[in-house]
Amino acid sequence: MTPKSYATPSDAQLYLVKSSSSDPSLLRQACYTLSAHLPRDWPEDQGSEVAFAGRSNVGKSSAINAITGHSRLARTSKTPGRTQQIIFFTLDESRRLVDLPGYGYAKVPVAMQQHWEKTIRRYLEERVCLRALILPVDSRREPTERDWQLLNWCAAHGLPVHVLLTKSDKLGRGKRTQALRLARQSLSDMPLTSVQLFSALRDVGVEQARHRIMALLDSVDSVGSSS
């Protein structure tokens, strides 16, 4: 399988700047479309998608719920490994959000971990309509090795990533500011990667994330037209 090639970072950045005015209220229209175990079950590869990826239990599904304003759209759980399929949510006829299974939870059976490793890789490499990843990272912890692998892969392929420093309600003000500063520093050599503080529980950074996601969804993709 030939990995798709994304726009060069500088091109992609230009596209993003052009299209930052989309109305975030569209996100409230999100509705569940389907859950896919296998690539053949994915919706047709057209329009644009932004996918939430990241460590198990970091708050991906909670972030989707906060951002769409629907408390039960994506299933959340205290037990890691809750999302075990690729879940597609439709915003309108051409735009979707995607909840990917989390990685890094040791109690998920090895065969299942391998299946998702392979399927998520395939999703990233082949999905032409994928515009960007949202990567929630726990604001109290360092990104994991697997987070870095994903960030590096996206940087190498020109795929934008927006990092949400989740569960920031668990940090005091000083620690929150410090977490944001450190994250900005460590991502500073990745021009297509942005970062913000976020809390699904306390509504921190939700509006900011909405604006970013809309800009990413509506960024022009040079891949679809060139590959």
Ligand X SMILES: Nc1nc2c(ncn2[C@@H]2O[C@H](COP(=O)(O)OP(=O)(O)OP(=O)(O)O)[C@@H](O)[C@H]2O)c(=O)[nH]1
User: Are 164 and 136 within 8 A, CB to CB?
Assistant: yes
Site for ligand X, residues 18 to 57, rule: CB under 6 A: 56-57
| Binding partner at 158 among ligand X, Mg ion, none, C-beta below 5 to 8 Å by kind | none
Q: Does 61 bind Mg ion (CB under 5 A)?
A: yes
Site for Mg ion, residues 64 to 83, rule: CB under 5 A: 82-83
Going by C-alpha positions, the residue among 219, 202, 200 that lies closest to residue 68 is 200
Q: Does 139 bind ligand X (CB under 6 A)?
A: no
Round to whole Å and give the CA distance between 48 and 13: 17
| Binding partner at 58 among ligand X, Mg ion, none, C-beta below 5 to 8 Å by kind | ligand X
| Bridge partner list, 35 | 87
CB of 2 to ligand X, least distance (A): 29
Toward ligand X, which CB reaches closer, 12 or 73?
A: 73
> For the range 203-210, what are the long-range contacts, defined as Cβ-Cβ under 8 Å and sequence gap of 24 or more?
203/66, 204/168, 204/169, 205/164, 205/168, 206/66, 206/67, 207/24, 209/63, 209/67, 209/134, 209/162, 209/164, 210/24, 210/27, 210/67
Q: Name the closest residue to ligand X (Cβ).
A: 102
Q: Which positions ≥6 away from 10 have C-beta within 8 Å?
A: 191
Q: Does 57 bind Mg ion (CB under 5 A)?
A: no
From residue 129 to residue 168, what is the string marking binding to Mg ion with x (rule CB under 5 A)?
A: ----------------------------------------
Q: Does 132 bind ligand X (CB under 6 A)?
A: no
| Binding partner at 59 among ligand X, Mg ion, none, C-beta below 5 to 8 Å by kind | ligand X
Site for ligand X, residues 58 to 97, rule: CB under 6 A: 58-62, 76-78, 80-83
Round to whole Å and give the CA distance between 217 and 5: 18
- Collapsing DSSP to helix, strand or coil, 85 comes out as coil
DSSP state of 30: -
Q: Does 119 bind ligand X (CB under 6 A)?
A: no
Round to whole Å and give the CA distance between 59 and 197: 13
| Binding partner at 56 among ligand X, Mg ion, none, C-beta below 5 to 8 Å by kind | ligand X
Residues at the site binding ligand X, with contacts judged by CB under 6 A:
56-62, 76-78, 80-83, 102, 166-167, 169-170, 199-201
